[in-house]
Amino acid sequence: MKWTNADDVQSGRGDPSATDGGSPDEGGDDVHGAISNLLQDRELIVVSNRQPYSHEYEDGEVVVEPPAGGLTAAVDPLMQRLSGTWVAWGDGEADREVADEDGTVALPPGEESYRLQRVWLDEDDVEGYYRGYSNRVLWPVCHADLSKVDARPGDWETYEAVNQTFADAVIRRTPGDGIVWFHDYHFGRAPRLVRNARPEAFLAQFWHIPWPSWDVFRACPQAEAILDGLLANDLVGFHTDTDCRHFLEGVEVAGLGDVDRTSGSVLRDGQRTYVRSFPIGTDAAKWAERAGSDAADEFWAEFSEENGLTDRRMALGVERLDYTKGIERRLDALELLWEEEPDLQGDLTYVQKVSMSRQEIPAYAELRERVEGRVAEINDRFGTDDWQPIHYVDDHLPREALAALYREADVALVTPTRDGMNLVAKEFVAAQGADPGVLVLSELAGASEQLDAGSVVVNPYDVRAVADGVRHALTVPREEREDRMERLRTDVEGNDVYAWLSAQFRTIDRIRDSREATDELLT
């Protein structure tokens, strides 16, 4: 069995109502050790749609693909330390071959320190639960793009059935006093199903996408059922205070529980759910290391030479090809800028790095066609024999290559029309060097609540404002750029992914201690 390199794969303790972030000086090992002490040998079960490792076939041999995203890369070592169980969809070609008859496999290879419990889904399950309800209903509703909502008959029933399948897997693995940590919008019903079977377990969930106002969320045909599912958790986490406020207001208006705004909690059927913001971070130290690597230098030398960037300024966009990322309006803004500032023609080049996503869903396939068409139009309009305005990159890039692009960009354009957080903004900051660029950031990204002080903040729907934001970013003198980046770097490094982990488990510990103390008083 082959093992591939992770960096080659593409990316009575006070008031329980309070949260406690990790120290900025705490690294991954320190945080994982502290969490282990907090849990006191209680079993931890992590639940996510995507699995931390998959098994694939390569030239007839089974290959292990390790964690690709920042979240899984941060949680994986925690699970290794705790010897817990990770429940996820087994979507790898060779997953069944290496799993036992119960669908479990010990990981990581060579150490086998925790269990991955794989859940098997057939094509109908994937179509209804994942491509259907999760990404045609919940995704557009939560991103406040109701024109994209496509509630097809049968998708909700499939979503509920798959949530039951995941819940059954969790229940088999969860002791009475276990801790279950659900991730994201794929599991709007599973917590309720687990709670019914394991009433004493501690359930927490982090919702990785925005939570809209009730006037928007009520467009979800099963809005109250989703709220009921989430309220089975002891703790629900969001990226921002705004998301928390929207959630509590929705529960209150829907009449699904007694909302206590002082403690930020909901009481429903005798179960109290605390609602907290935990802004997710990136592994800032790792991105800085990648940006300073020989691999980053080698990539940039080749890429800049091939694309004529050696003596030109560069603006950069990095994202999944998703209609929430604001790519089309961004292209309109760049076209306006080149039109109004002829001196920037031949001087400013825009690099758009995209990762293909959900192309089986019509809205995504249509977006790809439109974006690629606009890139061609703009290049035809302004391009010359020795300069191309936009370089559109849809190939896989190693993380060192992305870090090189971040490091060398004069301007980073992060202009989603709605985003829970957006880690690209934080990765860009972490990768900056001595001569930093400028971050142009959407006011509708969760990251703007943390990074507004050092960024050029724009309304992503306003093409003129985005164009002016880029124009301004290009004129910021070096001393001011350094000052802006220092403020941003302080935020990004002090609130990294390990601080995000620490804050949630310290909050879990406080809630548990408070409840145990209350139980003692009642006995």
* Rounded-to-integer distance, Cα 422 and Cα 169, Å: 31
Q: Is 274 helix (H, G, I), strand (E, B) or coil?
A: strand
What residues pair up with 63 in beta bridges, in sequence order?
A: 2, 56
Q: Which structure tokens are listed for 361? A: 């869903």
DSSP state of 114: E
> Tens digit of pLDDT for each residue in 258-278?
999 999 999 999 999 999 999
Strands, sheet with 348-355, edge to edge from the N-terminal-most edge strand: 390-393, 348-355, 313-320, 411-414, 438-442, 456-458
DSSP state of 132: I
DSSP state of 287: H
> Tens digit of pLDDT for each residue in 307-319?
999 999 999 999 9
Report phi then psi at 256, rounded to 5. Answer: -100, 5
DSSP letters spanning 184-224:
SGGGSSHHHHHHHH-TTSEEEEE--S----HHHHTTSTTHH
Helix axes 497-522, 70-82, angle to 10 degrees: 50
| Band of pLDDT at residue 24, cut at 50, 70 and 90 | very low
> Tens digit of pLDDT for each residue in 432-469?
999 999 999 999 999 999 999 999 999 999 999 999 99
Cβ atoms of residues 114 and 106 within 8 Å: yes
Strands, sheet with 104-107, edge to edge from the N-terminal-most edge strand: 104-107, 114-119, 85-89, 44-47, 179-183, 202-206, 235-238, 271-277, 265-268, 258-260
Across 66-122, the runs of DSSP E, i.e. the strands, are 85-89, 104-107, 114-119
Higher pLDDT, 307 or 518: 307
Helix and strand numbers (H, E) in the chain are 20, 19
pLDDT at 26: 55
* Rounded-to-integer distance, Cα 521 and Cα 523, Å: 6
pLDDT at 9: 29
Residue spans per domain, the chain: 23-281+498-522, 284-494
Same fold, 23-281+498-522 and 284-494: yes
Provide Rg for the chain, Cα atoms.
23
Statement: residue 21 has pLDDT above 50: no
Q: Which structure tokens are listed for 182? A: 């659900």
CATH code of domain 23-281+498-522: 3.40.50.2000
How confident is the model over 345-350, as a mean pLDDT? 98
Q: Residue 450: count other Cβ atoms within 10 Å of its Cβ.
A: 22
> Which top CATH class is 284-494?
alpha beta
Cβ atoms of residues 270 and 276 within 8 Å: no
> Tens digit of pLDDT for each residue in 159-173?
999 999 999 999 999
Chain centroid to Cα 147, Å, comes to 23
> Tens digit of pLDDT for each residue in 474-517?
999 999 999 999 999 999 999 999 999 999 999 999 999 887 76
Distance of CA 176 to CAs 32, 74, 117, Å? Answer: 23, 26, 18
Residue count of the chain: 523
Percent of the chain with pLDDT over 70: 93
DSSP state of 131: I
Q: Tell if the pTM clears 0.85, that is, is over it.
A: yes
